[in-house]
Structure 1
Amino acid sequence: MANEIAERVVAKYLTVKKPGYALMLDAPWGSGKTHFIRKVTDHETNETRLYVSLFNVHTAEEFEWALVRALKPWSEQTEKWGKRISEFVSGVTVAGCSVDLTKVNMTEIAFDSLPDTLIFDDVERCGIDPKQLWGLINGFVEHEGKRVILVCNSVKGAKKKQLAAIREKLVGQVVTIEPDIGAALTTVWVRLPDGPGRKFLQLRQDVIRETFADAKHNNLRLLLRALRDAVDLIDQIAPDMRTFHEPLERLVRTFLALHMAFHEGRISKEDLVNRGEVAIFHSLGGGDENHPLHLLKRDQVKAEIDAAYNTVFSAELGRKLIGDGYASYAVINEALHETHQFRETEAKSDWVRLWEWADEDETELIALEDRIAQRMQRFEITEPGEILQLYGAREFKGAYFDDFCSKENAREFCKYIHELDNRELLPTRLPATTRDREGYGFDAEFGRIIYEGRAFKPDLRARVLVRLLKQKMDAAYERALPDVAAQLFADLRSDPVAFREQLEAQAGVHNYSYAAILHHLDVADVARILLRYFIEEREITAVLVFDTIGNRTSPHRQGLAEEQDWIAALKQELERQAGNVSVICLAQMRLFLQRHMRAE
């Protein structure tokens, strides 16, 4: 049993009368010292043992008050020291008489009520000079004959050298403990909410123990905090994905390893983001063997610390869950779904199965290749990300076949992209979001190509394909703008709210909030619709539409320069059409424009 010897030593010390020395329990932070001493001494219910925390105690006077508070804790609701003192005094008498604290030494009063066993916790975090602290405590050991147990972490704190030197004069025996993960887990299951997360973790205590051991920090507090958040994570995973036990187990192992490392201070929030960087983990990419992530990966060999390629726990989801501390149900499940590791084999996309070709039956692999070839012949594969993944998967597979030609593979995909463009089957790129990044359906940043949660390091030919795809999608975008403008005009005429949604920024949504489009509309036609709203629905619809257009002149929308001349022309046309209605209408329009359509 863990710490059985330590328990015997403490239990024996508790039976010694006036031992003349202190017993020290020395163990790292988070190893369960406080829990251990509470269990062994039973100080919460045994009145012959007094527990005193020295955390944040800096003077002899505060030391005395720590004893007083331990003997007679005051109410948490009491805010004023005067009332706290009066509460204490009302319960303390000497020879049947009340005590005036201004005339009597507090320590002398406390000594009369002190039990035979004193337990001082958080010794290394006490602010009193070690020599003075040891003198105060030594009075109880030598002069009062008390049993004194000191609970500390001697390897931490600014005064660890002084503590090590001085304890020889006071401490007669030192006992150490190791983290009792079994006891900790037994305790934590009771505290965690009953549900799928707790049940899943309870069945995988071997994974928890192994991950904790690999972490090497021996801090149970870090583990219990990670387990609490792991339970919450699993509870939020969709029930159908929770049936995939193997990837879920890898997710838990990786989550616990990263969570503990982050809260220990071993890795930073930036490191969580950089888990997707190839160069950090691979020497061929100039990796740094002393990088915190590299070192963590070396210790946590079974966890997927490296998220540069395929992983069950993406760098983005790790940043949100651990670095930010929160991710919504939708974000969690979408991120896990995109890994393709929480789906049945038959539900996996062809390109995913091609990456996993080594696990396919030979007959199935031949059928898979044939199906992909037929789909390409019919030009059914149009998603740019899927095209790039198929290219990369073929390169990966071809490296193990003698008759494979990389140059011919690249030539085939280049020809395929050109043909998709000629047939106008290639999708347009999406306009920039608030982060000012256009959407191509894949990510080609930081030396990787990523699509639906899977990444691979591109060769030179793959980078050429990326540039070609972006070029063709940019051209398709420009060709589509007149049709988009026509739909935008239709929304302006019949659904002003939809019109606004296409032009106002929404987090993570690709619309035209940062992409010029209004200059493709006819100024006179737009002015006629706006004038009608101004006359008939001025307080609601007109305000909504005029504000939407006026916001396009905001300085932070620098990408909308093409629209500025168009908006100026629209204002002039609105004034002209309003003047045709009446002089009053023109004056009101000018004021309305001043209020709801910003000046150039």
Structure 2
Amino acid sequence: MVQENLISVPNKHIEEYLDYYFNGRKKFEYAVLLNGAWGSGKTWFVKKYIEKQISKDKKVAYISLNGISKTSEIDEAIFKCVHPVLGSKQAKLAGQIFKGALKATLRIDLDGDSKPDANLGISAPDIKLPDYLKIDDNFILIFDDLERCELKKEEVLGYINYFVEQENIKTLIISNEEEIKDNDDYARKKEKLIGATFSYIEDQDVAITSILQEVENEELRDILNLNFGLVRQNFNQVGYKNLRSFKQTIFAFERFYKKEYFEWNGVFDNEIFGTILKSFLILSLENKKGYFEKTILEFKKDEKLDDDKKIDSTSKILKSLRGINSTDAEKFMNKYNFSLNDFIFSPKLWNEILNQNILDEQKVRNELYEVYFRPKEEKSTWFKLWHYLDLEQEEFDSLVKEAKLSIENKSLTNVTDIVHTISMFLYFKENNLIFFPVEGLLESAIKHFNDIVPVKENSRKLCKSIISEGSITYGFYAKDLPLFKSFLERISQEYENKYIENNKERGQVLLSLMENDSYEFRLQMTGKYFSYPILKWLNPVFFVDTLLKIKFKNARSAIDTLSSRYESLQDKTYMEEKELYDQAINILREKLKNSKILERHKIKDEILPQLIEIKEKFLKTE
């Protein structure tokens, strides 16, 4: 056999034996078993082998046993393979030809006693099949997915035994025996039927190459072949050795791919193509593997990373910037040495692409531009310095001077540019590449950061979505330096202070919702502010006045909302809201002294007891 014509070099011995078994007229009276794990490529190998046999004018019936629960279904599947014209929907002849024609051609013996089983209701149809449609010596039977057949495995082997022993049909059975529960009956049937057993050796390179060759887009196929090493590396790194899933992922990428996505000024950008391809492979295969909770990049939450005693604030900031909010998220990002930004697209867009099969071209273009092409187009100073090892000394000195002035003059308009610039300076200082003091630059940068950082209502702390908006995928050079960690802590505090500045206004909005929109009030208290002590900034006088003036059903709804809020999550954070209840209860008791009869009833018998119950039940001081 010529080496170049082999399907798989590591499995050369299997191919050579199958040639020996299937070619020639020797009657073996046994079947061959090919064993291998799911996704190892054994089915791919067999289908390639089938192509070779068909080219030699062999007639091959390939039958998948997956999900089959009756032998009649196997009859039908074989008949479709042997007689494709008669097996078509148009030629079922009132639904009788399938079983009748097959039973007329073959006598089925399930129990291996060499006698046709009479209880199957076999009867020959009143038709004659031309000789050229009948099974002959060139016929090969291949049964795949034995382990997935819903019949008892020993029953299936007994069924197959007839073809081998009585009709001398050469038969190959493909299985993952690790998934078959062995028993005496199965062992006996197997011993009688199987004459040669082989274990398929995974041949990853040739399998991946074959799958890439199935990509119809010739341009993309060529690019993927050029990136073969990247494809193989990520396939192995995910560790999900399932070639079926890999094939699905490659075809999904072909559907997603448009050359224009990766072009800038008429030039194809290999770097961003490689990054998107890597992200696509990782996220798609990990998703098929079942790593994510419900959506792409959604991880199982835990309390470990939320415990202030276990993790210092700087580490929490750095983890947040990497998209880490749980132990699973941390393991995932560390596995690939990635941050959330390295995946380029937002988790929401990835979920649309990979889970919902939605391809919104405009969203793809917009996110690619914002995250990758815009910084290249604007050529931020820190971005140029990020590649400082490629610079000449004069160019390096000029860019450092330019970056220094941008901090001193507060000319930067993007918070990420500020953080990256400071990161570069601290790194250069640590490595003796610059010699001027940086302390003054830190102070200037912190003030400038506070001036321009946008406060997002749903982000109470500094996080990745704030600091890296519009950022390229590059990390911070100085991320491990103490001075940079201190800088992150300070800008994080600046952001929180800026958020808190609007808390009184947020409190006024909540009071308005108590009066006018009970449903939205509940949503905000149990959602937006679920783990945030927003009531700490509520004016207790305004709170009491609102409860007394609004419709009673709204007041009762508001109090029920507050009670359910604490009941859902008894968090120490809520202790900060205890003072509101202390003061509100005192104010209501004072009002009792001068209230009219109806208001006194409302306070004494309805509102006051409920507020006291909330305080005593949920807001006890330890």
The TM-score range, normalised by the shorter chain, is 0.5 to 0.7
- Paired residue for 1:444? 462
- Paired residue for 1:230? 253
Task: Tell me the SS of whatever aligns to 2:342.
Answer: coil
Residues 94-141 of structure 1, C-alpha deviations (whole Å, 9 max, x = no match): 9xxxxxx9998439889x955453222221111222222222222333
Residue 388 of structure 1: how far off its partner (Å): 3.4
Question: Does 156-165 or 182-191 show the bigger shift?
Answer: 156-165
- State the alpha-carbon separation in 2 of the partners of residues 256 and 356 from structure 1: 27
Distance 1:396 1:403, change over 3 A: same
- State the alpha-carbon separation in 1 of the partners of residues 164 and 330 from structure 2: 48
Residues 296-341 of structure 1, C-alpha deviations (whole Å, 9 max, x = no match): 965xxxxxx333276264562544433444452233233333444x
Task: Tell me the SS of whatever aligns to 1:272.
Answer: coil
Residue correspondence of structure 1 range 166-181 to structure 2 within 5 A = 167-175=190-198, 176-179=200-203, 181=205
- Paired residue for 1:264? 289
Residues 504-545 of structure 1, C-alpha deviations (whole Å, 9 max, x = no match): xxxxxxxx9x9969x9xxxxxxxxxxxxxxxxxxxxxxxxxx
- State the alpha-carbon separation in 2 of the partners of residues 161 and 185 from structure 1: 41
**1:444 touches 1:450 (CA, 8 Å); kept in 2?**
no
Q: Could you tell me the percent identity over the aligned residues?
A: 18
- Paired residue for 1:538? none
Residue 473 of structure 1: how far off its partner (Å): 7.3
Residue 186 of structure 1: how far off its partner (Å): 4.8
- State the alpha-carbon separation in 2 of the partners of residues 254 and 427 from structure 1: 29
Distance 1:291 1:132, change over 3 A: same
CA RMSD of aligned residues (A): 5.3
Residue correspondence of structure 1 range 209-228 to structure 2 within 5 A = 209-228=232-251
Match of 1:468 among 494, 499, 510: 494
- Paired residue for 2:13? 5
- State the alpha-carbon separation in 2 of the partners of residues 412 and 162 from structure 1: 81
Question: Does 252-261 or 160-169 show the bigger shift?
Answer: 160-169
Question: Does 153-162 or 197-206 show the bigger shift?
Answer: 153-162
Please state if 1:146 is matched with 2:169.
Answer: yes
Match of 1:25 among 25, 28, 34: 34
Please state if 1:58 is matched with 2:89.
Answer: no
- State the alpha-carbon separation in 2 of the partners of residues 125 and 279 from structure 1: 42
- State the alpha-carbon separation in 2 of the partners of residues 141 and 296 from structure 1: 53
Please state if 1:332 is matched with 2:364.
Answer: yes
- State the alpha-carbon separation in 2 of the partners of residues 306 and 213 from structure 1: 15
**2:230 touches 2:278 (CA, 8 Å); kept in 1?**
yes
Residue 354 of structure 1: how far off its partner (Å): 4.3
Residue correspondence of structure 1 range 62-141 to structure 2 within 5 A = 62-72=73-83, 83-85=94-96, 89=100, 105-106=121-122, 114-116=135-137, 117-141=140-164
Amino acid at match of 1:133: V
- Paired residue for 1:529? none
- Paired residue for 1:362? 393
Residues 338-362 of structure 1, C-alpha deviations (whole Å, 9 max, x = no match): 444x478674212333455455433
- State the alpha-carbon separation in 1 of the partners of residues 19 and 263 from structure 2: 49
Task: Tell me the SS of whatever aligns to 2:165.
Answer: helix
Please state if 1:192 is matched with 2:216.
Answer: yes
Residue 158 of structure 1: how far off its partner (Å): 5.5
- State the alpha-carbon separation in 2 of the partners of residues 448 and 165 from structure 1: 67
Residue 152 of structure 1: how far off its partner (Å): 1.8
Q: Which runs of 5 or more structure 2 residues have no equivalent in the other structure? A: 1-5, 106-116, 526-537, 551-622
Distance 1:133 1:87, change over 3 A: closer
TM-score by length of 2: 0.60
**1:122 touches 1:152 (CA, 8 Å); kept in 2?**
yes
Residue correspondence of structure 1 range 137-536 to structure 2 within 5 A = 137-156=160-179, 167-175=190-198, 176-179=200-203, 181-182=205-206, 185-186=209-210, 188-195=212-219, 197-235=220-258, 237-240=261-264, 243-265=268-290, 272-273=297-298, 294=331, 305-308=336-339, 311=342, 313=344, 316=347, 318-340=350-372, 342=373, 347-401=378-432, 408-416=440-448, 420=451, 426=452, 429=455, 432=457, 436-437=458-459, 444-445=462-463, 449-453=467-471, 454=473, 459-469=485-495, 471-472=497-498
Amino acid at match of 1:138: N
Please state if 1:556 is matched with 2:520.
Answer: yes
Amino acid at match of 1:57: I
Distance 1:373 1:289, change over 3 A: closer
Residue 33 of structure 1: how far off its partner (Å): 3.5
Aligned length: 472
Distance 1:310 1:133, change over 3 A: closer
